[in-house]
Amino acid sequence: MKLLVTGGAGFIGSNFVRMALTDRLPLENLEALTVLDALTYAGDEENLKEVANDTRYKFVKGDIRDEALVAELFKNHDVIAHFAAESHVDRSIDGGSEFVSTNVMGTQVLLDAAHRAEIKRFLHVSTDEVYGSIETGEWPEDHPLLPNSPYSASKAGSDLLVRAYHRTHKLDTITTRCSNNYGHFQFPEKVIPLFVTNILEGKKVPLYGQGLNIRDWLHVDDHCRGIALALTRGRAGEIYNIGGGTELTNLDLTYKILEVMGVGEEVIEKVADRKGHDLRYSVDITKISKELGYSPQVNFDEGLKATAAWYKENEAWWKKHKASTNKS
């Protein structure tokens, strides 16, 4: 397998690359792995230093919208794992153009190149947010797409393009839709690293509204294992939900973080709720469990403790990224 990983210097993508090159994923005969990343604010080549000396590894700085670059890279690869995306909901609410450009147009450039190069498999990493919001029960993979933010709408658009290239061109595609990820190397604008690092800085933690929104939490290691299973064993043209099995209200999550960090509720600062804030996400993982043998392995409480410990031990990393965010 000669694997191209887009967005491989970001949070989930870099974790996938590190696990792949240290034999922690079910990937057979991995001959070469190239990371294509534009190194926007959330990408950091430092995330890959653990595997930088692996002879199979190569890093290319570039944009997935660069048609010439993408076409050239596809000449030397036969499988693609597409992680690259703009992913922060609040930023998409402030302005959606970059989300549409990267997530929709960028995916279209990759799909066109994959079709022309006759790539063996194109795996597209998506999100449960494309389904919208669900009061009770769980979403199966064939649930209608009802996105509610510019971010999730752009991901839904990319999902539909992937489906279209499979149906029209018979391109071998797989789409995965994950629940909320957490773990080390996550950019500190997302809720868990934001709250942990704010507490380390002696700041308040901003809790939206009453904190009653519910999310399913998935450790990034489990997510990457699910992606690897879909990449190697999934059926062409299929969609697979990947969940963590731990549903929490944002308020319950906050109290768990406070407990791990050894502080009281006085650090909570309730702020105005996000526009169009989805109430609850919950994915049905029956399909990937039965077909591919997936199940989440990381206990949430243990994973949260390990994540908080990582941020305590890697202050220089997250302070650098917080500083860059404040300047933007």
Closest CA to 230 of 277, 288, 269, 187: 288
Measure the CA–CA gap between 230 and 240, rounded to whole angstroms.
Answer: 7
Among candidate residues 44, 63, 112, 128, the one labeled active-site is 128
Task: Say what the pTM is.
Answer: 0.95
Q: Which of 37, 44, 151, 222 is catalytic?
A: 151
Q: Is 128 a catalytic residue?
A: yes
Q: What is the pLDDT of residues 14-42, one digit of tens each?
A: 999 999 999 999 998 999 999 999 998 88
Which pLDDT does position 270 carry in this prediction?
92
**Catalytic residue from among 37, 129, 159, 222:** 129
Cα–Cα distance for residue pair 183/250, rounded to 1 Å: 17
Catalytic annotation on 208?
no
pLDDT in tens, the chain (328 residues): 999 999 999 999 999 999 999 999 999 899 999 999 999 888 999 999 999 999 999 999 999 999 999 999 999 999 999 999 987 676 777 777 888 999 999 999 999 999 999 999 999 999 999 999 999 999 999 999 999 989 999 999 999 999 999 999 999 999 999 999 999 999 998 999 999 999 999 999 999 888 999 999 999 999 999 999 999 999 999 999 999 999 999 999 999 999 999 999 999 999 987 777 888 999 999 999 999 999 999 999 999 999 999 999 999 999 999 887 664 4
pLDDT tens digit string along 109-151? Answer: 999 999 999 999 999 999 999 999 999 999 999 999 999 989 9
Which three-class secondary structure state does DSSP give residue 32?
strand
pLDDT of residue 326: 60
Domains and CATH numbers, the chain: 2-181+217-242 (3.40.50.720), 188-215+246-278+301-327 (3.90.25.10)
Question: CB-based contacts of 114: which residues, under 8 Å, 6+ apart?
Answer: 74, 80, 122, 165, 171
